[in-house]
Amino acid sequence: MFEIVPQDIEWVKKAKATITNLYEHRDLDHIPFEFTWSDPLTLDQELKTLGRPKDEYRRFIDDEYDLKTQLKNISDRVKAGCWDDTVLSLWPYQGVYVIAEAFGCQTIYHDNREPSAKPVIDNIRQVDKLKPNLNNSNSFKRVMTKIKYFQSVVKDKIPVSMTDLQSPIDIASQIVNYSELIYAMKDDPKRVHNLLRMITEILIESIYEMKKVLLTDWPASLFRWLPRGIFLSDDLLAVLSPELYNEFAVPYNEILAKEFNGLVLHSCGVYLHNIPVLLKTKGLLGINFHEFTVNDISRLVNDEIVLAIVGYFYDPYNNYSVRYKLSRDELISRWKKDYVRVVDFFPKHRILWWVNCLEPNKKEKVYENVLNISYSCRYKADRGLA
Q: What is the CATH number of the domain that holds 254?
A: 3.20.20.210
Evaluate whether residue 384 is within a structural domain: no
Evaluate whether residue 385 is within a structural domain: no
Evaluate whether residue 281 is within a structural domain: yes
Evaluate whether residue 34 is within a structural domain: yes
Query: Is pLDDT larger for residue 363 or for residue 48?
Result: 363
CB atoms within 10 A of CB 13: 12
Evaluate whether residue 1 is within a structural domain: no
pLDDT given for residue 1 in this prediction: 83
pLDDT band at residue 386 using 50, 70 and 90 as cut-offs: very low
SS3 content of the chain, % helix, strand, coil (to 5): 50, 10, 40
Evaluate whether residue 3 is within a structural domain: no
Lowest-confidence region among 84-93, 112-121, 177-186, 338-347: 112-121
Largest CA distance in the chain: 60
**Where on the phi/psi map is residue 54: left (φ > 0), alpha (ψ -120 to 50), or beta?**
left
Q: For 228-269, what is each residue's pLDDT tens digit?
A: 999 999 999 999 999 999 999 999 999 999 999 999 999 999
* 187 neighbors 125 (Cβ within 8 angstroms): no
Domain of 161, in residue numbers: 9-374
pLDDT given for residue 80 in this prediction: 97
Q: Which residues of 299-316 are buried (b: 16+ CB within 10 A; e: fewer)?
A: eebebebbbbbbbbbebb
Q: pTM (2 decimals)?
A: 0.94
pLDDT for 52 beyond 60: no
Split into its structural domains, the chain has a count of 1
